[in-house]
Structure 1
Amino acid sequence: MANIKKAIVFDAGVLITFSMNGILGKIKELREIFDGEFIVTDQVKYEVVDKPISIKRFEFEALNVKRLIDDKIIKTPQDLGISKIEIDKRTEKILAISNKTFFERGKPIKIIHNGEASSLALSSILNEMKIMNVIAIDERTARLLCEKPDNLTALFQEKFHTQITANKENYKYFKEFQFIRSSELIYLAFKKGFFDLKDHDTVLDALLYAVKYKGCAISHEEIEEMKKISNLK
């Protein structure tokens, strides 16, 4: 077992957001200043490399992510001595519980998929190992499930225009997880000077809206707050 101090577990969405904005190389720069490991599960690797590499439209992006993994910028659990069997077992359990937590007219709502569930599974293993970790995920539903599950009820009621019921006993299974979005990673990269662009006053605004419109669940208000924190007008 590798001696890991801390880790960021990447879901597919964050890597896709970086790739679609042409800034995947910033992952390497962020890794160089991070005293820990960047990790993806096999399920996430399948979503960002193994499956898209066979599709001409996405082949180039998949190759770029594959290089990060091949170069060990992003590692797999196996690289660190973490059992794939245990991750797979926990992934199935998380899928079973999460997708039977909210119901539309008695029918369970499927709210997370394999990649997201496997990231939660890996994070739970790291938690048990007393390794500080966060999950890098842009998708709103998975984060709300863990952080504000009651908000999902309201969200689904608005989406389906019907009464939603929840098995609140399941909430306890998702309290242990911590998250970061691509927007926060972009903010850190910006503050570290990784973007050498002349129009400094508009760079952060441009970056945050770029990731927002490529899949990161961040509001306009949150963007304005991040700009204020950075002392930008």
Structure 2
Amino acid sequence: MSHIILDSGPVISHSLNDLLWLFDKVKDYYGTEFSMTEAVKREVIDHPLAGKRFKLEALQVMHLMKKGTFKVISNPDIDALAKEMLEIANLCYYGRNQPLQLVHYAELTAVSAAVINKADAVMIDERTTRYMFEKPEKLRNILQHKLHTPIEIDKAAVLRLRKLARNVKFTRSAEFAAVCFEKGLLDNLLPDIPKSRENLLDALLWALKLNGCAISNKDLSTLMRLTLR
């Protein structure tokens, strides 16, 4: 992939696991361009810098921006499309006759940036946003189970939303890390223990899962099996 748009989740997941250097390696080895919108930048840099808890991670992201690994893209068309998506997205699902506000503006700027810039993929760890575009019926089932109430879906609104995304490809931190592992970019971390590759991949994927990447245990096991085969 030559151009990937980043949501805040994958950046945070990688920074919390000291894995931001993977973006450097992928850019250097394969020439992949990583971009984020102004709204995402505010979530991973501006807001954390105003506090203490994630200030170090924000500074590390700033360093990658200074190096050119991460780029910020700003375009009125991105903002306009994201606002249109947000308006429709928050009318797609209803519970107790009330619309459910399930997604946030910053996430949708990442999706709209992928559309406007014709990027190869948008990397989003948040399950709700991905499923709204990719598996809207499954999202309804998840919401019904979580909220313990019947959920209605406006299929016309969902169709409009998906058309706006124009078949954007979604990926997440787990898949990105698995590809990096498969390409040997993490071989320097292979431990001197039995089943070293299996143990490293297991540790890698679980670390990302536990720090924000929404992936089920079943999907994680499948990803491991496909990566190790």
Match of 1:102 among 86, 90, 93: 93
User: Counterpart of 1:27?
Assistant: 23
Give the letter aligned to residue 121 of structure 1.
S
Q: CA deviation at 1:8?
A: 0.4
Q: 8 Å contact 2:90–2:99 — kept in the other structure? A: yes
Q: Secondary structure at the match of 2:189?
A: coil
Cα-Cα RMSD: 1.6
What is the CA distance between 1:226 and its match in structure 2? 2.3
Query: For 2:120, what is the secondary structure of its paired residue?
Result: strand
Identity %, equivalent residues: 33
Q: Aligned pair 1:73/2:65, yes or no? A: no
What do residues 142-166 of structure 1 show as CA deviations (whole Å, max 9, x unaligned)? 1100111011111111111111111
Q: Does structure 1 residue 223 correspond to structure 2 residue 220?
A: yes
8 Å contact kept, 1:146–1:177: no
- The structure 1 segments of at least 4 consecutive aligned residues displaced by more than 3 Å after TM superposition are none
Work out the CA distance in 2 between the residues paired with 1:207 and 1:168. Answer: 37
What is the CA-CA distance between 1:229 and the residue it aligns to? Answer: 2.1
* Number of aligned positions between the proteins: 219
- Which range is displaced more, 219-228 or 154-163? 219-228
Structure-1-length-normalised TM-score:
0.88
Q: Where in structure 2 are the equivalents of 1:21-100 lying within 5 Å?
A: 21-78=17-74, 84-100=75-91
Does 184-193 or 222-231 show the bigger shift? 222-231
**Cα offset, 1:220, TM superposition:** 1.8
Q: What letter is aligned with 1:182?
A: S
Cα shift readout 1:95-145 (whole Å, capped 9, x = no counterpart): 10101110111111111112111011111212xxxx342010111001100
Instruction: Find the partner of 2:175 among 184, 199, 215.
Output: 184
- How many angstroms does 1:41 deviate by? 0.2
Say which SS state the counterpart of residue 230 (structure 1) adopts: helix
Separation of aligned partners in 2, 1:157 and 1:227: 30
Structure 1, gaps ≥5 residues long: 79-83
Work out whether 1:138 is the aligned partner of 2:125: yes
Q: Given the two structures, how large is their TM-score scaled by the length of structure 2?
A: 0.90
Consecutive unaligned residues in structure 2, runs of 5 or more? none
Q: Secondary structure at the match of 1:103?
A: strand
